[in-house]
Structure 1
Amino acid sequence: MTEPTHTSLGRLEEFDGLDTVADVSTGELELEERASLRRVAGLSTELADITEVEYRKLRLERVVLVGVWTEGTAAQSQASLAELARLAETAGSQVLEGLVQRRSRPDPATYIGSGKVRELADVVVATGADTVICDGELSPGQLRQLEAKLKVKVIDRTALILDIFAQHARSREGKAQVELAQLQYLIPRLRGWGESLSRQAGGRAGGANGGVGLRGPGETKLETDRRRISKRVAKLRREIAAMDTIRATKRGRRLANEVPGVALVGYTNAGKSSLLNAMTGAGVLVEDALFATLDPTTRRAMTPDGKAYTITDTVGFVRHLPHQLVDAFRSTLEEAADADVLVHVVDGSAPAPEEQVGAVREVLGEIARHRGEPLPPELLVINKADAADEVTLTRLRHLMPDAVVVSANTGQGINVLVEEIAGRLPRPEAVVEVVVPYTRGELVARAHADGEVLAEEHTPEGTRLRARVRPDLAAALEDYITDGSAV
């Protein structure tokens, strides 16, 4: 079994060494909690009759990966399977083997074809695996066929990602969103047990319900499960909608105060949370794992000239992100669409950063189409410069000439990034030229804090200002406007 504690402890030691964090942060406590319970290999006991949840906890550990290479290069197909391996390890599994089959399209019955299924079954027996993970989304029929032929648990990429989300969700909203996504995925994959579990409607009940021709099997267990899940889905949608109202209220309060907003978006494990910590000292959870952050975190930050703005850390994206998750997390993802600036964080040490950028932009484009509004301006940030090789960085600088190269780990380029963000934030539109009496010094202070002072001079009558301010402050300064100035 892969030993995850070494990576976790290494990150904790590195985080403890930061000069900006004096005490144990909330992120460290969450990371410690995640690493506090680990299965010891070789001590499991086979159970004859266990529930689905128990099955996953006890047996989703020794896995074989299988993918179908339909397009792209061999390196791209191998990178996709390597990412699946990281996902499996993040979920708590030990990857034993990985297989890729070249096909024009997945087999509609068994995903990889009947002959390859027999070969895969031999690999499963030889390695002692108890789970097979497919690098794609399986149809219900493919899932049943593979499990019947392989005699082990079979899951697909979507179920694996949903499992990771379920492990990492912390807030009430995050848990509700994950449960909604899981139920939407589960509904078409429910498996019934035939008429033995049906509700009989014979005898007097049958006569009362219509008599001859209508007696016999009634609602099956499968139909009952579907009805109960549909009710639960409807309830979760109502709860998430109510939570979205609260989120919209908070967002509206920030907009009313005209506080600019910045959203960190990017591929999972690109270093968004580390970047938030480096810029604000937020102390949020940082872990070298996929989908470590599910709940958005908003912190206050300051530009070099003292202007306040908010910066939000959002959930990461991945190639082929399950549409159930995009739908369930839509309200959370729209935090990015409501920002004034999108800071798109790219992992400079990744094998194919360009493909990750494309995957992120694809999901963002889907959100923009749903809203019917364009996305805010994008600022590309190449992170992990300390871990990336110079050849890769040179190539990325050529492909993304406007990108800022930083390292959240060492602090390289953070000051440049802060200045770049400050330059892209929206500026107040109203320009006023006023003479403010010395008795109204609070208006001068507001002009410095909330506006942009272009010129300032102290005269016998008061403080002469030429400033770019918000409409509400322009109205408060209206009585002190000098002749010839414009608002």
Structure 2
Amino acid sequence: MVLPDQGDAVRDNDARLDETAGLALAIGLDVVERMAFRVRAAKPATLIGSGQVEQIAQAVRMEEAGLVVFDASLTPVQQRNLETALEAKVIDRTGLILEIFGERAATAEGRLQVELAHLDYQAGRLVRSWTHLERQRGGFGFLGGPGETQIEADRRLIRDRMARLRKELEQVSRTRGLHRDRRQRAPWPVIALVGYTNAGKSTLFNRLTGAGVMAEDLLFATLDPTLRQIQLPGIDKAILSDTVGFVSDLPTQLVAAFKATLEEVVSADILIHVRDIAHPDAEAQRDDVEAVLNEIGVDPETPRFEAWNKLDLLDEDARTEVLGKAERLDRMVAISAQTGEGVYTLIQTVAAALTAGHRRYQITLDAGDGAGAAWLHAHGEVLDHRVEGMHADYDVRLSPADYDRFTRRDA
């Protein structure tokens, strides 16, 4: 495993190596050596210098390694030259992440998204590096030109397959949009958990919903979106969404392919950015997540809260510092999704934001109007109610829009 250090002062090299090792372990690879090199000027042929290539080659021979992972983006030419020099298979960061997604996708939609991303990535390799495919496929001659080359045929097959996948994903997107429209007409607020991979989103999701979503100390444990209904103070029903984790240098092919999934984030009423505050690269990870949110078109006006997770992993001094900082800043809550510490404070904070525009109303219903009473409980916070003879008086907190909808329900 190789980390070319190209002067990224924001990130810690050891942490970056650990992350790449985690990506490799996520698909069952056995990491036998880690190496970091400073690259002052990327070499067009091999990215790194010839001396560095030889150091890696020696390590490959010594460890009898069959695969070398470069934590960088390699051009097809660089990949081919490195494989020749190292006498081992070489993959870059994009290829490694695509492998993980391909292995983890559990739903039909997830598999479609991963296949589309992989074909998009592979098409570039095909055009530039598959020289062994530059052979003629025999033509019949009546078209007046040479037969179609194998590489042209393969490129055409890939294009056709990608077109079919995009059509299927468009249908998925339309279906998801219909479901989302139905929820908005209800209307129930949607809260999306976002964050760097392995920040603890699924652990928090499980604690808030009681769901059994896969939550392991593993990169990209969650690929397919999961939606669950939850209750919040003053809100009878809200939808909580757990989404795929982001990562630095997330392949653009994956961002495009997972657009249908990420639409849940784009349309959310509130985002909770779950951060691993115990990670040495916590600030750089935050910037990576914000960059992806901007890339997928999240409205910058969408309210965002930061849940500084993994308090349980901090020593006493660091814990005191994080708690003090979170108290001083708006929309920041320090939590441990694992132990539950701070989670109720997070719930109250988010609920207060969702009900900030709500007002208190006095509403009188017929005592037998069960549907009206149920509506008030579903869409507002019933603070008190009294039954007097044939009438029931409700003291309820509602948004002005919901109050208007309620008063017009029989119109």
Instruction: Provide TM-score, normalisation by structure 2.
Output: 0.91
Confirm or deny that 1:364 pairs with 2:303. no
Residue pair 2:235, 2:351 contacting (<8 A) in 1 also: no
- Choose the corresponding residue for 1:303, options 229, 232, 235: 232
Confirm or deny that 1:223 pairs with 2:152. yes
- Choose the corresponding residue for 2:78, options 134, 139, 142: 142
The separation in 2 between residues aligned to 1:271 and 1:279, in whole angstroms, is 12
- Which runs of structure 2 are paired with 1:329-478 in the superposition (5 Å)? 329-368=258-297, 373-374=299-300, 376-397=302-323, 400=326, 401-402=329-330, 403-426=332-355, 433-453=362-382, 462-465=391-394, 467=396, 468=398, 470=402, 471-476=404-409
Q: CA deviation at 1:464?
A: 3.7
Residue pair 2:270, 2:303 contacting (<8 A) in 1 also: yes
Q: Map Cα deviations across residues 216-271 of structure 1 (whole Å, 9 max, x no partner).
A: x4211111111101111111000111111111111111101001111111111111
Deviates more, 1:382-391 or 1:143-152: 382-391
Residue pair 1:280, 1:299 contacting (<8 A) in 2 also: yes
Residue pair 2:367, 2:387 contacting (<8 A) in 1 also: no
- Choose the corresponding residue for 1:209, options 143, 147, 164: 143
Instruction: Provide TM-score, normalisation by structure 1.
Output: 0.77
RMSD between superposed Cα atoms in Å: 2.3
SS at match of 1:289: coil
Structure 2 match to 1:187:
123
Percent identity of paired positions between Structure 1 and Structure 2: 41
- Choose the corresponding residue for 1:129, options 59, 65, 88: 65
Q: Gaps (5+ residues) in structure 2?
A: none
Q: CA deviation at 1:132?
A: 0.9
The separation in 2 between residues aligned to 1:423 and 1:243, in whole angstroms, is 34
- Which runs of structure 2 are paired with 1:98-117 in the superposition (5 Å)? 98-117=34-53
Q: CA deviation at 1:394?
A: 4.1
The separation in 1 between residues aligned to 2:23 and 2:111, in whole angstroms, is 19
The separation in 2 between residues aligned to 1:75 and 1:249, in whole angstroms, is 41
The separation in 2 between residues aligned to 1:135 and 1:184, in whole angstroms, is 20
Q: 1:276 to 1:134 in 2, by over 3 A?
A: same
The separation in 2 between residues aligned to 1:285 and 1:374, in whole angstroms, is 30
Q: CA deviation at 1:413?
A: 1.7
The separation in 2 between residues aligned to 1:175 and 1:324, in whole angstroms, is 14
The separation in 1 between residues aligned to 2:214 and 2:114, in whole angstroms, is 19
Q: Map Cα deviations across residues 26-76 of structure 1 (whole Å, 9 max, x no partner).
A: xxxxxxxxxxxxxxxxxxxxxxxxxxxxxxxxxxxxxxx112212234962
Deviates more, 1:343-352 or 1:384-393: 384-393
The separation in 2 between residues aligned to 1:149 and 1:156, in whole angstroms, is 16
- Choose the corresponding residue for 1:258, options 174, 181, 187: 187
Q: Map Cα deviations across residues 132-185 of structure 1 (whole Å, 9 max, x no partner).
A: 111111011111111111111000011000101111100000000000110000
Paired residues in the alignment total 401
The separation in 1 between residues aligned to 2:178 and 2:206, in whole angstroms, is 26
- Choose the corresponding residue for 1:323, options 224, 237, 252: 252
Q: 1:326 to 1:255 in 2, by over 3 A?
A: same
Residue pair 1:68, 1:103 contacting (<8 A) in 2 also: yes
